[in-house]
Amino acid sequence: MTSGSMGSSPRRPDGWAKVTGTFAFSSDLSMPGMLWGATVRSPHPRARIVGIDVSGALALEGVRAALTHLDVPGAPCYGLELRDQPVLAATEVRYEGEPVAVVAADDPDLARRAAEAVLVTYAPLTPIVDAEAAARGEGEAVHAGRPNLLRHVPVRRGDPNVEAPVVVTGEYEVGMQDQAFLGPESGVAYPADDGGVDLHVATQWLHVDRDQIASCLGLEPERVRLTLAGVGGAFGGREDISMQIHACLLALRTGRPVKMVYRREESFRGHVHRHPARLWYEHGATRDGRLVYVRARIVLDGGAYASSSMAVAANAATLGVGPYRVPNVRMDSYVVYTNNPPCGAMRGFGAVQACFGYESQMDRLAHACGLDPVELRRRNAMTTGDLMPTGQVVEGPAPVAELLRMVAERPAAPRTTAFGASGGHTTRGEGVVRGVGYGVGIKNVCFSEGFDDFSTARVRLELRDGRPVVTVHTAAAEVGQGLVTVQGQIARSELGVPDVVVAPADTAVGSAGSSSASRQTYVTGGAVQAACQAVRRQVEATTGEPYDPTALPRLLARTGAVEETVRWHHRPTKGLDPQTGQGDAHVQFAFAAHRATVEVDVELGTVRVVEIVTAQDVGRAVHPQAILGQIHGGTVQGLGLALMEEIQVTDGGIRNPSFTDYLIPTIMDVPQMRVELLELADPHSPYGLRGVGEPPAISSAPAVVAAVRAATGVELSRVPIRPHDVVWGAGR
């Protein structure tokens, strides 16, 4: 086996640059003669724009441009699914922080002062902030002429009126979570000789950015060239446009390179968040705890613009009863426009909100049936061949019961942990109680509902100084997950060549699709595999000899450089029936289970997570160490959702846009984490692998909350849990 191939854990090729400070993140870029851009943002969640006066900004020495909606040469709006979001607001602003103008100046301070000098006159309107009213079709329209209901996804299965002897109901709420990647939105745009523009930017999907930029600039896509700059984390928050179009507009207008870097506060306002949700569930079961039906209603607040809301609503609906066998389902998932901050993709994408609802219900049901929560789940766990509520057959391994068994059978968390018993508490002893909770979740991998989901890989095999070298070129965004490493591993395995170079990702090669939906190792991995195999075939066809890595110096001397570009699709999916929600909408399902152990100080309401055990089926562990990294990181984001992370919104305004007030877990908040992997090959995916990134972020929050409930007996129906929820609940 070629060293560094699949199944081993070679080092990241960008690793040394990252530990020596030389890796160029998008915020590190600079060019000669570069200007700095800044954005003028609305202070109102909803207002009519009465006038915009940029003369004050332009009067400042060193300010080179101040642009409004009138300066957008192409389409005025962009968007992932609906083009409903203005590049710069024209007549109305629909959320607090919406861009109204952009400026470019000689230095960043001056750019910020110029932004402040742009005079925008607003006539504030009462913001529309009630998502449930919007779902009922009540209230004024956020977008004139369009209903506030963006999408309703019904799923109907079985008998709608069936009854059951044991019924539990619950109403749940999920707060607005933020991706809180550390690297701020940033990039540099510079004008090109052909009238086009080049942009180096941190993003998740170069081509979909390019297409939106080109459309708004009124340029052919070929004249807009994007190169991936170093990405400081993404988690869904870079799937939408932020500063991309603005920087390009300013560069084309000034004829100079323009850099934009968001500050943290601007970042909190400048990207979409996880949809906050309200969920109503009714579970009916037999006395021995077998599910008869689930009825549910989920309302997701999409905020001011659509982003990927429609797909989020479909995920919540189709995955909304969890990894369980349920013969009768009546599910309604709604996503609406409001004047709250726009919401879109975040790791887990609709499955996270639903999982908090259905897993809370499974615990209630276990209690009602007098069953252990693991046993109740085991009795209902889906397996291969079962039907989703959409009628889709679950193909391939679905080891839900097995994953639960794996986390449940781990020895209990030790009483005294390595970092002491006092972390997070000021008292010790009587006030501190311990609890254990479980969660299991399901996630679709890749894009669904008939989306044309593919990736493109170009692989070149040639001799350099007499040695065979492989170059892999894709547009796939490395966002930290380790895709660059995996591409090299696949090429080494397929071609038997140790020297593999992964070229920088850019739009000079075809689209790779998004680094989201846990899909890149699957889809770009599949494309790299296919391109490598095409290269092998070409070597064989040209030389008439079987491909042999040890003979490559001789074979390639005859063939010259061999290069193949392959566009690779996963199996097609289908749309959902708009009335019944039936359809084979997903290509692959992924599962993980968590067991959380917590200690709660019931007097202070503080929670310390002592241990989290995760079990996940990864199909095939391409890079075992990177998989652990995904599981640790995803699990901790779920812990954050359970205990601390929430964008607080009042009347449409964000109250906590800083790391002082929006808390993400620190090293003191994270517990010991134990991980168990299953590798049950999926017969349909490349190498049998299963998407890894999202499942661990889905069930960890419900497991932590279940553990807090078990410790305190308090009915917690909202995440994040606030200390007063525990204290007041315990006092009741």
Binding site for other proteins (CB under 8 A): 9, 11-12, 14-16, 18-25, 27-28, 30, 107, 109, 179-184, 230-235, 261, 263-264, 418-420, 479-482, 625-626, 628-629, 632-637, 658-660, 664-668, 670, 673
List 170's β-bridge partners, or say none. Answer: 281
Question: Is residue 233 within the footprint of ligand FES (CB under 6 A)?
Answer: yes
Q: Which of 236, 437, 480, 513 contacts ligand FES by CB under 6 A?
A: 480
- Please state, in angstroms and as integers, the Cα–Cα distance from residue 585 to each residue in 77, 295, 319, 354, following that order: 29, 21, 11, 17
Task: Show Cβ contacts of residue 581 under 8 Å, excluding neighbours closer than 6 positions.
Answer: 153, 154, 155, 156, 317, 318, 331, 389, 390
Partner from other proteins, ligand FES, none contacting 498, C-beta within 5 to 8 A by type:
none
In terms of CB distance, is 265 or 386 closer to ligand FES?
265
154 binds ligand FES (CB under 6 A): no
Contact indicator for 715, 732 with CB cutoff of 8 Å: no
Q: Report CA-CA distances (Å) from 386 to 4, 324, 574.
A: 38, 9, 18
418 binds, among ligand FES, other proteins, none (CB under 5 to 8 A by kind): other proteins
Q: Which does 288 bind (CB under 5 to 8 A by kind): ligand FES, other proteins, none?
A: none
Alpha carbons 495 and 234: distance in angstroms, whole number: 31
The rounded distance, in Å, linking the Cα atoms of 76 and 249 is 12
Rounded distance between C-alpha atoms, residue 627 and residue 529, angstroms? 20
At closest approach, how far in Å is the CB of 619 from ligand FES? 25
The least CB distance from residue 563 to ligand FES, in Å, is: 34
Q: Considering the complex, state which of residue 21 and residue 51 has its C-beta at the smaller distance from other proteins.
A: 21
Residue 108, interface with ligand FES (CB under 6 A)? no
Q: How far is the CB of 541 from other proteins (least distance, A)?
A: 40
Q: Which residues contact 336 (CB under 8 A, 6 or more apart)?
A: 131, 134, 135, 148, 149, 150, 299, 300, 301, 302
Q: Which does 261 bind (CB under 5 to 8 A by kind): ligand FES, other proteins, none?
A: other proteins
By a kind-dependent CB cut-off of 5 to 8 A, residue 146 interacts, out of ligand FES, other proteins, none, with none
Q: Going by DSSP bridges, is the β-strand pair 454-464/467-473 parallel, antiparallel, or unpaired?
A: antiparallel
How many Å apart are CA 709 and CA 322, to the nearest integer? 20
Number of helices and strands in the chain (H, E) = 18, 28
Residue 390 corresponds to which tokens in the numbers above? 């959409």
* Partner from ligand FES, other proteins, none contacting 180, C-beta within 5 to 8 A by type: other proteins
Q: Is 723 in the site for ligand FES (CB under 6 A)?
A: no
Residues in contact with ligand FES, shown as a per-residue x/- string from 161 to 200 under the rule CB under 6 A: ---------------------x------------------
691 closest CA partner among 398, 444, 383, 387: 444
Q: 169 or 422, CB closer to other proteins?
A: 422
- Tokens encoding 708: 């807090």
**Shortest spacing between CB 374 and other proteins, in angstroms:** 24
Minimum distance from CB of 480 to ligand FES (Å)?
A: 5
Among other proteins, ligand FES, none, residue 728 binds (CB under 5-8 Å by kind)? none
* Residue closer to ligand FES, measured from CB, 18 or 287: 18
How many residues sit close enough to ligand FES to count as binding (CB under 6 A)? 3
Q: In what order do the strands lie in the sheet with 47-53?
A: 92-93, 47-53, 119-124
Rank residues 201 and 602 by Cβ distance to other proteins and give the closer one.
201
3 state SS of 411 = coil
| Per-residue H/E/C for 461-525 | EEEECCEEEEEEECCECCCCCCHHHHHHHHHHHHHCCCCEEECCCECCCCCCCCCCCCCHHHHHH
731 binds, among ligand FES, other proteins, none (CB under 5 to 8 A by kind): none
**Nearest to ligand FES by Cβ — which residue?**
182
Q: 18 or 684, CB closer to other proteins?
A: 18
- Asked if 123 touches ligand FES (CB under 6 A), the answer is no
Nearer of residues 182 and 561 to ligand FES, judged by Cβ:
182
Backbone angles phi, psi at 331, to 5 degrees: -120, 135
Residues in Cβ contact with 430 at an 8 Å cutoff, skipping those fewer than 6 apart: none
Q: Which is nearer to other proteins, 213 or 479 (CB)?
A: 479
85-86 and 77-78: which strand pairing?
antiparallel
**Could you list the residues that contact ligand FES (CB under 6 A)?**
182, 233, 480
